[in-house]
Amino acid sequence: RMAGKRNARGGLFRASLDFASMGWAIGSAVGTALAQKGCPVVCITGDGSMLMNGQEITVAIQEKLPVIFVVLNDNGYGMVKHGQRMTGAEEIGVEIPKTNFASFARSMGAEGYVIHSPEDLLALDVNEICNRQGPTLLDVRIDQDEVPPIGIRTQLLAQTYD
């Protein structure tokens, strides 16, 4: 199931709802950028998803697509870990290798930045990034113990296993 909303300036927000497959956003952002030529596309995804499907950046590079990949990097499968904790399940299979996704992006020919603080984000030239002929990746380091807003998703999962 998809949710989409267009704003007054013609921008579009799209999200996959329900039990979206992990890694879905990366290819979707590239496809959206192909369909909306010249319009910057922002993809917010996790580090686990980027490890699974990050090679799709090469398409954005080849096609010179202005996709901004915002990778929330907590060195783990955070949604899975917190879901396991919230439902009382055993915490297994939730750690992933520490990865510098900014270096990963640069190794393929994209721009990449590590973001440790709001100040790091504010120091970037957003206009330059949006007008760039090709993708940019922001490796946003987040606290692995901070619980994301996953209450409804976790409740549905818990009901499934009752």
> Does position 23 have pLDDT exceeding 90, yes or no?
no
The model's confidence at residue 136, banded by pLDDT at 50, 70 and 90, is very high
Q: What are 76-84's contacts with CB under 8 Å, separation 24+?
A: 76/47, 76/48, 76/144, 77/46, 77/48, 78/46, 78/48, 78/142, 78/144, 78/148, 79/46, 79/148, 79/150, 79/153, 80/48, 81/144, 82/147, 82/148, 82/150, 82/154, 83/150, 83/153, 83/154, 83/157
Domains held by the chain: number? 1
> Does position 19 have pLDDT exceeding 70, yes or no?
no
The model's confidence at residue 3, banded by pLDDT at 50, 70 and 90, is very low
Is residue 72 a contact partner of residue 142, using CB atoms and an 8 Å limit? yes
Q: What's 148's domain CATH number? A: 3.40.50.970
Model confidence pLDDT, tens digit, residues 64-92: 999 999 999 988 766 666 566 666 777 77
CA distance 18 to 29: 18
User: Taking all residues of the chain, what is their mean pLDDT, rounded to a whole number?
Assistant: 82
Is residue 24 a contact partner of residue 16, using CB atoms and an 8 Å limit? yes
Strand order in the sheet with 67-73: 41-46, 67-73, 136-141, 111-115
The model's confidence at residue 2, banded by pLDDT at 50, 70 and 90, is very low
The model's confidence at residue 52, banded by pLDDT at 50, 70 and 90, is confident
Half-sphere exposure (Cβ direction) of 136: Cα atoms closer than 13 Å: 21
Which domain, by its residues, includes 125? 2-160
Residue 146 tokens, joined: 């901070």
CA distance 19 to 128: 35
Is residue 121 a contact partner of residue 113, using CB atoms and an 8 Å limit? no
**Between 19 and 28, the higher pLDDT residue:** 28
